[in-house]
Amino acid sequence: MSEAEQVPASAPEAASAVILNATDSNGTEALNATAKFVATPEGTALAYGSLVFMALLPIFFGALRSVTCSKSKELGENDYHSGFRNSADMPETITSRDAARFPIIASCTLFGLYLFFKVFSQEYINLLLSVYFFVLGVLALSHTMSPLMSRIFPVSLPNKQYQLLFTQGSGESKEEIVNYEFDTKNLVCLCISSVVGVWYLLKKHWIANNLFGLAFALNGVELLHLNNVSTGCILLGGLFVYDVFWVFGTNVMVTVAKSFEAPIKLVFPQDLLEKGLEANNFAMLGLGDIVIPGIFIALLLRFDVSLKKNSRTYFYSSFLAYIFGLGLTIFVMHTFKHAQPALLYLVPACVGFPVIVALFKGELTEMFRYEETPAEEAGTKEDSSASDKKDQ
């Protein structure tokens, strides 16, 4: 975060720098540098504290929901659909090959956006991105709300089942293109999410931005599964280098950040105490700083569960490490008055703390041997097992 450097947002893959800035309500730079907003100590503390608190929510609850996903995945695709019903809700397993390629893909995406903003009109690009993230945000927020809606939905109201089915061809060559099952509860969630989406699309209000941002982050932590700890180390290590290079080595990330308008960051106004909900000078935290460490923390929670010791040692140690790393990022940024790549501090903390705990407990080898089966393989094994039983 930096009061001297005004950066309104982060790019999707580049959303991993912590920034404190002076911007207007649309995220554009203040034109009069001499009249730049100076946050009060109370406003700064409130903004920092709120960002940290919001960052912890999707990591904590996303990790808990990832355990449910993992258990359902082990039961096989058919049983999984009985709870979530749609393959789009199945967790995506990240392998070591995926992890090694991800920083390269992220760098290409970032540089591609940089070229797009240099060549094409920023206004039209952001219009397309707004529509794109509107659709994604509505779906993500709807999925996030589903468990809560299942609990509070009145029993007296009928919960009807629906199915959206698109097929191609006929007879034996018929192929499913879309097969989406939903019910009345899902429709209510979709309606509420659509209202938030329209609010964001029309006003770009910071609360609507945060609702979408939290939904994206929680879904990411819940549905993106690392297959083992080694893969997590490869991913975090690669993005550590990526983050440092693009923040300190070039102006590409800053250029894209100044041009990009999308709910891929959490924001909180520093002038909330003075202006209320109409405040427009924001501190920001990219979703990359939440999701990337978050999926590693979620993996450690699933490892804790696999040990069957009724203990969450590795989850809590990594969770506390995240708080420490993010706090250190804010401290360094505030001390040197310069935007910081948060993964520079989060990666060593989130990897180092659990490894030290594992060394003390003598479980380091067991931690690195822990392996999760991809959802596709789990479904295949389940189908094969069912077929064998049928044959017998």
Active site residues: 243, 289
CA 255 to CA 382: how far, in whole Å? 49
In this structure, are residues 243 and 10 in contact, taking their beta carbons and an 8 Å threshold?
A: no
Helix (H, G, I), strand (E, B) or coil at 286: strand
Helices 96-119/252-259 angle, 10° precision: 70
Position of tokens 């390269």?
Answer: 104
> Using CB atoms within 10 A of its CB, is residue 369 exposed (0-12), middle (13-18) or buried (19+)?
exposed
Q: Are 159 and 183 in contact (CB under 8 A)?
A: yes
Cα–Cα dist 36/40, whole Å: 13
Residue 70: name the closest of 191, 267, 223 by CA: 223
> Would you say 287 and 240 are in contact if contact means Cβ atoms under 8 Å apart?
no
